[in-house]
Structure 1
Amino acid sequence: MKIIYSFLLFFLFSLSFSQTDIAIIPKPQDVFLKKSSFYITPKTCIQADANSFEASYLKEAIKTQTELNLNINSTNSSKSIQLVLEVPNSSNFNKEHYELVVSNSKITISAFTNQGLFYGIQTLLQLIPFEKKNKIAVPGLKIIDTPMYAWRGMHLDVCRHYFPITFIKKYIDYLAHYKMNTFHWHLTEDQGWRIEIKKYPKLTEIGAWRNGSMTGKYSDQKFDDIKYGGYYTQEEIKEVVAYASQRHITIIPEIEMPGHSLAALAAYPELSCTGGTFEVGKKWGVFDDVYCPKEETFTFLENVLSEVMALFPSEYIHIGGDECPKTRWKSCSHCQKLMQEKGLKDEHELQSYFIQRIEKFVNSKGRKIIGWDEILEGGLAPNAAVMSWRGTEGGIAAAKQKHFVVMTPGSHCYFDHYQGKAENEPLAIGGFTSLEKVYNFNPMPDELNAEERKYILGAQANVWTEYIITTEQVEYMIMPRMSALAEVLWGTAKPENYLDFKTRLQAQENWLKNNNINYRKTSFTE
């Protein structure tokens, strides 16, 4: 019956346009076109609550694109853009669902939540051209749309290279444009600690600054001696969290442990196995000095996480867990004694003990942990979610153990990789992840059965910044690959439709240009 209903709607509304004329990314689930158009003029109003953020957002966006300054009016009026919150008829509804109807008399965006309305607004804005006119045509259509995956994310490492708050907000705007809902903010590393922790001021006084950085290729092993760093105050973080929340984006903070912790050890060397001294990492890569699993360390990390959780209301807190060498633990008398006391057979189980202890604390605060797939080694913490980066195998193993998973394999989701031949691209860490490769990514492994598939939350792209120095370079590395991933996670990407995607992508170039975004232009022509 649903198929028959869809065909009836299609024939009812389809007259003179084709679906490729509607250049929306991510592609909506269902689009039905009709011949009539709606014209936005200076007399058009936005019908919504006067205090609605979504209405104000739409007003400002239309003004930016067209210079038309529309009024917001809560009373019923014709020739209006209506934002309608509907009451769901059951408790089992998708909060991200929306419908958009454009007729010759009005535009209606309806949803069950403000988040759904916001996504309908993003779709509408892609239908409105960047034109400075008094009469702007919007094609007649009906869109019924719901995303497939609950976790649609982008990551940004601000530790290897620091980016100002103004750019972090822009980055969030880019996610919002493509209806992505998760920003993974990588805040601590060997090369810099970027979040103010009031109980431990030396984390930013010392840990946020390094006395030089690697330059050029890793194999060259060359360094400058320029002091480099920066950090975000708690007030700045509150500002960004609020900014993202208005745009229905959850920020997942990452506080690395037990490895990738050299910046913290430079500030507080007593948390190490050897007692120091240390300096914030100038070199990229992995360091042997990591947190020592002693009581002082757990007290420190619990205090840090308490301040972090007070700033970030997210369900998940990312605790890293990747690339932790066991070198220091193997020669540490405290670690070896602890292993004997706890009946741990090796250092992998010691890492599992470390992660599980942190998880108990985070759970006691009503939150959950998520970590890179190394947290599977030695036994997975009872309630932990896994971010699968070393391929999809870790995610498959976690899902089979009934743990939630975010897929982010390096093969398809590492946006620090080259996008073309290395000789034609800015210096990058390596790898090759083309626009088409991203578009062909399938986050759902065939190895999982129907029950296990429920544990795949979605996916995200990671942007590690060893070789990404400026905000312009960040933009170059994510645009337009982010658009391809957004369509994958919305659930409407199909490898056989890549050329259709490329056709719709052409319209995105206007948005990129008009927003002064430094994108990879070659991706639009190759």
Structure 2
Amino acid sequence: MITPPARSTRIGTLVRAFALLVAVLSLPGCAERTAPTAAATSAEALPLIPAPVQAERGEGRFRIAAGTIVSIAPGDEPARDAANHLVRLLRDTRGLDLSVREETTPSPASIRLQLDAQSPVSQTEGYALDADAQGLRIRARDAAGLFYGAISAWQLAGADTGRDGVEGGAIDIPVVTIRDWPRFGWRGQLLDVARHFHDVDTVKHVIDAMAQHKLNVLHLHLTDDQGWRIEIKRYPKLTGIGAWRTPPGAGRHGTPQRYGGYYSQDQIRELVAYAAARHITILPEIDMPGHAQAAVAAYPEEIGVTGERPPVAVDWGVNPYLFDTDERSLAFIRGVLDEVLELFPSPFIHIGGDEAVKDQWEASPAVRAQMQRLGVKDAHAMQGWFNEQLADYLTSKGRRLIGWDEILEGGLPASASVMSWRGVDGAVTAAKLGHDVVLAPAGWMYLDNLQTERSDEPNGRLAVLPLSRVYELDPVPAELTAEQARHVLGAQGALWSEYIPSRRHIDHALFPRLAAVAEVAWSPMAARDWNGFLARLPAQLQRYQALGIGYSDGAFAADIGIDGGAHTALDGGKANIALGNQTGAGQIRYTTDGSEPTLDSLRYQKPFAATLPVTVKAAVFTEDGQPLAATRSRHFDRQTLLSVDTQGLRNCHNGGPLGLRVPLLPDMPGMDTPVYNVDLFYACWTYPQARLDGIAAIRIDAARLARNYGLAHDQSKVHQYPSSLPRGERALGELEVLRGCDGEMLAQMPLPEGSALGEQFELEVPLPPREGVHDLCLRFTAAIDGPLYAIGAVQLIEATAQSPPVQR
């Protein structure tokens, strides 16, 4: 496996309004200052995410109904903006159509929002919310605080699910006193639009969701090897050429002949303004010096090291193309930055800086001569020099450079900040050196990892990142002193888009984990509690439903299996059915008669016996009866007990997941695309605990996938299994079936002719008689410079007089 895990590929199992932020950063002791000044009290299951610093419930209720006035003081424009946003949310989620009214004295039983220099919460972005029987009042000393107070008021009102018992969308909210402010000034989410382009409406959808979670930094990853997504007027070929690629398997299964897109400068301005109205600043990332293939494809002579024009990359991962280091290249970069700075008011500009393979620099006589003139000792130090040129230029324009933690390796300009993704070590090192840091560690915050181990998960990384793991992160590493911790600006999630081609994929990957990201970045540790978070999450899921957010319910969905493994049920025709879910939350109700489970169905308490064949359906509800996850179903009979799908196969070398869960073709748009679990380094799968008694053949559903992975120096780790075919037939290779990866060869079968990517085919081969339960090893001997072969499902076939095994 790649070590350390690559940020853009994450191949293998990973272990791995912004103007207000300027004000926050300018204050001394950012991390220390944002600690709560009083002990945080329990929110007592108030439906608030992120958890507030202080929340105290009182006796009584306040009703919000169709006639409720949302009151603001005359001329209070920040209050008007926050009030209008509150009204929109209440309309969209409760069907209430409230009006905003300017009033010197608020109406009785109204919702009052007011910018107030004497608000009891003095912290930046903080707010005070007081609700009693006479009304609801939100006060803050800045516009962002009012906005976040409005978000909390909306959350208290909840979503109208038809269960409230009050007609017309009206709702009774509890009497409550809230004093709240964020722990960190930087609360972000990265959206990668370079690998898969996401249109303006989709980006706005993400911005809206971030605002509803009190996040304030959208890190927009705009350029990479696979696409340049921002119009630069002085360099039109960056989008004319660099924004488009010819995808593998073009023309098959809905894959377009030409894939890509970009944002015009007017669209960027539209997005920046849309975000700013929700107190979010867009942080642009322009990758340099690596991840530059799309740019070099557009202007090879101006910025390329070799002068040769590559295609826009179709390979995910680490590709070799770098920006040159000469003055012509730097002048080009400054020209790009000038237009970027005009479009984005962000005080920081992200330059990437990660995974810059130095082969081209090291092979270039011109770069080596430049290094000698500069007295730079090696290529890593040369990247440090390169970053220093960028940092100096940005500083001259009143901006700050931030990059991924690799920028530490060649020496870091004093003004630069670090975003730590390879664990937390980069943040610790940078903070100890006096640099500001943002935590986005892969092992906690990379949301393109799968949410569960379920077979119904779509494309993604096979390193499962459960909701609980996201919630665990403390952005202030324990290794830092109080003084060093002042350099921790905050934290953010990351959604890389190699396997996120659509808005539906975005929703599935982000939610509900974005709720955990929000609580990590906003709430003080004293207010954070996993069980409390789970108790508050059902209300958040209802809000997602009301807003049309296609969240994943996998953390709560019922897992249906056989206690002891499938082979235990083959004798006697009975199975011991075990149910559960990832979080352990909620009540599981199930049926075995084919009907849909309801609250009146049997409640799961412990494994139960069932006679085969049987279809088990299970749904999960909160203790008070609200749905937590949709019904899941699994059918058990002899055939299904003798089969596994791609998710049931294991890694031949460590018994764990295989690294990636990839679609049939990389640019297929559908959410229901066939998916395959693969290990890029070993074309080998284990079918665990296969019962071989009476088995006469094995059938394998397979596919030819694109081998579109830039592995750089890790290419040598890709294993070629030797073929036993005659020399003239070895190009295609074969499928081998072994009893254990180092054991007896049970069967071999040549792969069918054909080279079309995205082609699915079936292999069936006889097996010699064997008894007992064994791990079966399935591997392909195909050449590693051709398609990537994958397995979608495996079926063991029992001997019958009517259907002898066949080979085809």
Q: TM-score range by the shorter chain?
A: over 0.9
* 1:83 partnered with 2:113: yes
Aligned residue number for residue 291 of structure 2: 260
2:437 and 2:257 mapped to 1: Cα distance? 40
- TM-score after normalising by structure 2: 0.61
* 1:35 partnered with 2:59: yes
Which of the numbers 72, 82, 85 marks the counterpart of 2:100? 72
- CA displacement, residues 338-392 of structure 1 (integer Å, 9 cap, x when unaligned): 1011100000010001000011111100000100001001111120000001111
| Alignment check: 8 A CA contact 1:20 1:504 kept | no
* 1:94 partnered with 2:127: no
- TM-score after normalising by structure 1: 0.92
CA distance 1:303–1:223, shift in 2 (3 Å): farther
Secondary structure at the residue paired with 1:500?
Answer: helix
CA distance 1:299–1:446, shift in 2 (3 Å): same
Which of the numbers 237, 254, 274 marks the counterpart of 2:268? 237
Aligned residue number for residue 117 of structure 1: 146
Aligned residue number for residue 219 of structure 1: none
CA distance 1:214–1:255, shift in 2 (3 Å): farther
| Alignment check: 8 A CA contact 2:196 2:501 kept | yes
Which of the numbers 455, 475, 479 marks the counterpart of 2:507? 475
Aligned residue number for residue 218 of structure 1: none
Secondary structure at the residue paired with 1:522?
Answer: coil
The amino acid that maps onto 1:74 is: E
The amino acid that maps onto 2:354 is: D
CA distance 1:456–1:189, shift in 2 (3 Å): same
> Superposed, which structure 2 residues align to 1:339-354 within 5 Å?
339-354=371-386
Q: Which runs of 4+ in 1 moved over 6 A?
A: 222-225
Larger radius of gyration: 2
Secondary structure at the residue paired with 1:108?
Answer: strand
2:527 and 2:81 mapped to 1: Cα distance? 37
| Alignment check: 8 A CA contact 1:369 1:383 kept | yes
| Alignment check: 8 A CA contact 1:440 1:493 kept | no
Aligned residue number for residue 156 of structure 1: 191
2:392 and 2:315 mapped to 1: Cα distance? 33
Aligned residue number for residue 546 of structure 2: 514
The range that moved more, 132-141 or 56-65, is 132-141
Aligned-residue offset at 1:494: 6.8
| Alignment check: 8 A CA contact 2:451 2:554 kept | no
* 1:380 partnered with 2:404: no
* 1:144 partnered with 2:144: no
| Alignment check: 8 A CA contact 1:212 1:223 kept | no
Aligned-residue offset at 1:64: 2.1
* 1:250 partnered with 2:281: yes
RMSD: 2.2
Secondary structure at the residue paired with 1:521?
Answer: coil
Runs of 5+ unmatched residues, structure 1: 11-17, 216-221
| Alignment check: 8 A CA contact 1:26 1:492 kept | no
Aligned residue number for residue 366 of structure 2: 334
1:262 and 1:214 mapped to 2: Cα distance? 21
- CA displacement, residues 485-515 of structure 1 (integer Å, 9 cap, x when unaligned): 1111113457982122111101111111111
2:401 and 2:49 mapped to 1: Cα distance? 31
1:293 and 1:118 mapped to 2: Cα distance? 45
Using CA pairs under 8 Å that are at least 6 residues apart, name the structure with larger relative contact order, 1 or 2.
Answer: 1
CA distance 1:472–1:494, shift in 2 (3 Å): farther
2:314 and 2:93 mapped to 1: Cα distance? 44
1:93 and 1:140 mapped to 2: Cα distance? 23
> Superposed, which structure 2 residues align to 1:332-411 within 5 Å?
332-411=364-443
Secondary structure at the residue paired with 1:133?
Answer: helix
Aligned-residue offset at 1:431: 1.9
Aligned-residue offset at 1:68: 2.5
Which of the numbers 240, 243, 246 marks the counterpart of 1:205? 240
The amino acid that maps onto 2:141 is: F
Secondary structure at the residue paired with 1:339?
Answer: helix
Secondary structure at the residue paired with 1:169?
Answer: helix
Aligned residue number for residue 645 of structure 2: none
Aligned-residue offset at 1:136: 2.2
| Alignment check: 8 A CA contact 2:159 2:539 kept | no
The range that moved more, 73-82 or 190-199, is 73-82
Aligned residue number for residue 319 of structure 2: 287
Aligned residue number for residue 231 of structure 2: 196
1:423 and 1:63 mapped to 2: Cα distance? 37
| Alignment check: 8 A CA contact 2:119 2:140 kept | no
Secondary structure at the residue paired with 1:56?
Answer: helix
1:310 and 1:423 mapped to 2: Cα distance? 46
CA distance 1:120–1:346, shift in 2 (3 Å): same
Aligned residue number for residue 638 of structure 2: none
2:527 and 2:43 mapped to 1: Cα distance? 17
* 1:447 partnered with 2:479: yes
1:255 and 1:211 mapped to 2: Cα distance? 22
Aligned residue number for residue 86 of structure 2: 58
CA distance 1:333–1:424, shift in 2 (3 Å): same
Give the structure with the higher percent helix.
1
The amino acid that maps onto 1:212 is: P
1:523 and 1:260 mapped to 2: Cα distance? 34
Which of the numbers 450, 467, 478 marks the counterpart of 1:435? 467
Aligned-residue offset at 1:224: 6.5
The amino acid that maps onto 2:133 is: N
Q: Report the number of matched residues.
A: 507
Aligned-residue offset at 1:62: 1.8
| Alignment check: 8 A CA contact 2:51 2:527 kept | no
Aligned-residue offset at 1:40: 1.6
Q: Quote the sequence identity (%).
A: 40
2:527 and 2:342 mapped to 1: Cα distance? 42
Aligned residue number for residue 179 of structure 1: 214
CA distance 1:225–1:106, shift in 2 (3 Å): closer
- CA displacement, residues 113-160 of structure 1 (integer Å, 9 cap, x when unaligned): 110000011111111133362642111100010111111110000011
| Alignment check: 8 A CA contact 1:439 1:495 kept | no
| Alignment check: 8 A CA contact 2:158 2:543 kept | no
- CA displacement, residues 42-69 of structure 1 (integer Å, 9 cap, x when unaligned): 3321111475211211222222233332
Aligned-residue offset at 1:320: 0.4
2:325 and 2:174 mapped to 1: Cα distance? 61
Runs of 5+ unmatched residues, structure 2: 1-36, 161-166, 558-580, 582-808
| Alignment check: 8 A CA contact 2:119 2:141 kept | no
The amino acid that maps onto 1:83 is: L
Secondary structure at the residue paired with 2:418?
Answer: strand
Aligned-residue offset at 1:89: 8.6
Secondary structure at the residue paired with 1:285?
Answer: strand
Secondary structure at the residue paired with 2:500?
Answer: coil
1:410 and 1:481 mapped to 2: Cα distance? 14
Aligned-residue offset at 1:458: 0.8
Aligned-residue offset at 1:429: 2.9
Aligned-residue offset at 1:423: 3.8
Secondary structure at the residue paired with 2:555?
Answer: helix
* 1:272 partnered with 2:304: yes
Aligned-residue offset at 1:30: 0.7
Secondary structure at the residue paired with 1:232?
Answer: coil
The amino acid that maps onto 2:192 is: D
